[in-house]
Amino acid sequence: MVKMPDSMDECIYFTRRVFDNDGKAIAWVYKKDCPKCGKAKMGKPLDPKTKKPKIRADTYECPACGFSEPKQQHEESLMVEVMFTCPYCGMKGEATTPYKRGKFEGVPAYVFECSGCHKKIGLTKKMKSGKSKAGDDAGDDDE
């Protein structure tokens, strides 16, 4: 069971999306505990001048002990947690998926499956829309 974050400070990623046919999703990725000391949450390194996280940093580090981990290795160990209403069957559910974008209708997205109708649902970047399939209204169950 997924747990909604209490604060944005707990998350690396957070989004709310609305799909066609009254579907919607809320997704987030929690920060991971430091694997070395376990005292603090890993995050992007802070800029010494502004004391804000570096946006394009290629590492994550622990503020308590200074342990550093490459961005790709760190992000591969994280999971996206999703609370959603399926745009196909209307069922409310929860899902988890790796924090790695796959292809969904030709667009990079975090892809998860509805536990009711077993159709794939994609969380794309904002303003990205997938390629519409001709004859999609026929209700084919090819998958």
State pTM to two decimals: 0.80
Q: How far apart are CA 94 and CA 116, in angstroms?
A: 11
Token duo for residue 4: 């909604």
Which of 54, 122, 51 lies closest to 87 in space, CA to CA? 122
Q: Domain check: are 71 and 102 in the same one? A: no
Q: Domain check: are 28 and 56 in the same one? A: no
Could you tell me if residue 12 is inside a domain? yes
Q: How far is CA 85 from the centre of its chain?
A: 16
Could you tell me if residue 44 is inside a domain? yes
Q: Domain check: are 100 and 63 in the same one? A: no
Domain limits at 98? 1-32+78-128
Q: Domain check: are 82 and 72 in the same one? A: no
* Total domains present in the chain: 2
Q: How far apart are CA 101 and CA 97, in angstroms?
A: 10
Per-residue pLDDT of the chain (143 residues; tens, 9 = 90+): 788 888 888 899 999 988 888 889 999 999 999 988 888 999 999 888 888 888 888 999 998 888 999 999 999 999 999 999 999 988 999 999 999 998 888 889 999 999 889 999 999 887 666 665 544 444 444 44
Q: Domain check: are 26 and 38 in the same one? A: no
Which of 30, 41, 23, 38 lies closest to 7 in space, CA to CA? 30
Q: Domain check: are 86 and 120 in the same one? A: yes
Long-range (24+ apart) CB contacts under 8 A made by 43-48 are 43/12
